[in-house]
Structure 1
Amino acid sequence: MLPLQDLPDATLSRITGLFLDIDDTLTTEGKLPADAYAALEALQQSGLRVIPITGRPAGWCDHIARMWPVDAVVGENGAFYFWHDAQSRKLRQRFLADEATRAANAARLKDIAAAILEAVPGCALASDQFCRIADIAIDFCEDVPALPSGEVDRIAALMRDAGMTAKISSIHVNGWFGDYDKLGMARTLMRERYGVDLDAERERYLFIGDSPNDEPMFAYFPHAVGVANVADFTDRMRHAPAYVTGARCGAGFVELARRLLAAHA
């Protein structure tokens, strides 16, 4: 990973949109700092397309799409995207799976979650599980004492043994049925909402993130950026971001935002 300062201004000036993770990328220790939120707003007001790509649940994404200065949001690691239609003043939702499939999966997810909680002492259902639609999130350090990395890996292995896709974030292990991920839904969103072929335009977009569930995005975008705390997880990833900020978490996001805003001034 190269330091962010090595990302050329000429490259930044050609960027037309930013995808970003939320937890420990935009936030710091579970909080959304004022300067990070202000940077998010300034980026959108500058004309850049701003889209969070998160593992957080549908309930959160409803709020984010309605209230935050963003163009859309991809949630639950790619299960859906939401956006707020300014013309109709309504929230619009696009799910990957149909309603019947989501309903059929719900009972299976509940049973697997119960088995994991019994098998791995110290973990817990994520506090936001009540507003999830397509996955389960097992907390290993957000609202519980941090579990050893071996136990985190065991949670992921139990999900995979049950036929699920499992991804580790900085706070949760998320599991779902299907082979989708953050990148797949980002590409679908860009094609359906904006008529953008992301494969052809990837040089004009940035992604910033911090953990293993961001790995598809790190591998895909040539100018992907990690906040400094991504170094906590690089031993778990095959694909690291091309660049890394000097600061951790929200301060790292602000560091990138300032570079982008200066390049577009």
Structure 2
Amino acid sequence: MSPIANFKSEDAKKVKLVATDFDGTVTEKGQLTVAAIEAISQLPTVGIKLIIVTGRSAGWVNGLRNYLPVDGSIAENGGVYYHDPEASPDFLVSIPSRNQHRQNLESVFQQLKVSFPHLQESPDNAFRFTDWTFDVAGLSIADLKQIAEECQQQGYGFTYSSVQCHIKPQLQDKASGLQTVLKTYFPDISNEEVLTIGDSPNDESLFNPEIFPISVGVANIKPYQQQLTHIPKYVTEASEGKGFSELVNYLIPPF
């Protein structure tokens, strides 16, 4: 990862859309600050669109979409997209029967609890459509690897962030969801004109340079670096929301 001070002006000039994680990337210690809101508000003034790409639940994201000046919000790590606050969400993954899907996810979770009896379902799990969440606290790297293997054996994918663990469809990830949204709602913006930013392993697909060449990690991504196949092209000096604001300063002319 190259320091954000090396952010190339030619990269900055290309950016037409920022796709950002939220918790630990825009927030600071779980709070949305005035500085972060100001940074978000600066992007439209220079013609840059903003999409939130988070692991949070669809219900949570729909509420957030109504209060922030963003152009869309992807929830559940690429599962659901809200473009128009007045319209129903778009499902970015194929789920023929939502009730059956939820039952299947719960079954996988109960199987995981055989090996890890202390797993705690996340409070927001009831408000989700496409994935099943439980708390990441208390799980070691070895535990997380074992959980990922057990999910795969049962035909499901797995990812985690600094907040939660997610059991999900195997092909569901942030990059796939974002690509679908770009093709449908932003056809004039290419992947090369998108800047992705995040802080956790569930953001890894956004760091794949073959999909999104311009990517940034806020400084709190560093502890996860050895666990990632794809790492951001740049990393901010500051952590969390301060790092997000730091990045926005590099996108405001003069470059």
2:158 and 2:143 map into 1 onto residues whose CA distance is 14
CA-CA distance at 1:15 after TM superposition: 1.2
User: Are 1:203 and 2:192 an aligned pair?
Assistant: yes
The 8 Å contact of residues 82 and 88 in structure 2, kept in 1 or not, is answered as: yes
Equivalent residues in 2 for 1:92-171, closer than 5 Å:
92-97=88-93, 100-141=96-137, 146-171=138-163
Please, which runs of 5 or more residues in structure 1 have no aligned partner? none
CA-CA distance at 1:185 after TM superposition: 1.4
Aligned to 1:76: 76
Aligned to 2:249: 258
Displacement over 6 Å in runs of 4+:
none
The 8 Å contact of residues 55 and 75 in structure 2, kept in 1 or not, is answered as: yes
1:153 and 1:178 map into 2 onto residues whose CA distance is 15
With structure 2 as the length reference, what TM-score do the two structures score? 0.91
**What one-letter code is carried by the residue in structure 1 that aligns with 2:125?**
Q
The 8 Å contact of residues 229 and 249 in structure 1, kept in 2 or not, is answered as: yes
**What one-letter code is carried by the residue in structure 1 that aligns with 2:148?**
A
Aligned partner (choices 218, 241, 250) of residue 232 of structure 2: 241
**What one-letter code is carried by the residue in structure 1 that aligns with 2:62?**
D
Q: CA RMSD in A?
A: 1.9
Aligned to 1:186: 178
- Select between 118-127 and 46-55 the one with higher mean Cα deviation: 118-127
Sequence identity percentage: 29
SS of residue in 1 equivalent to 2:167: strand
2:237 and 2:118 map into 1 onto residues whose CA distance is 33
CA-CA distance at 1:102 after TM superposition: 2.1
CA-CA distance at 1:148 after TM superposition: 2.3
Aligned to 1:66: 66
Residues 118-163 of structure 1 show CA distances to partners (whole Å, capped at 9, x for unaligned) of 431443112211211110112113xxxx432222323323322221
Please, which runs of 5 or more residues in structure 2 have no aligned partner? none
Tell me how many residue pairs correspond in the alignment: 253
The 8 Å contact of residues 166 and 173 in structure 1, kept in 2 or not, is answered as: yes
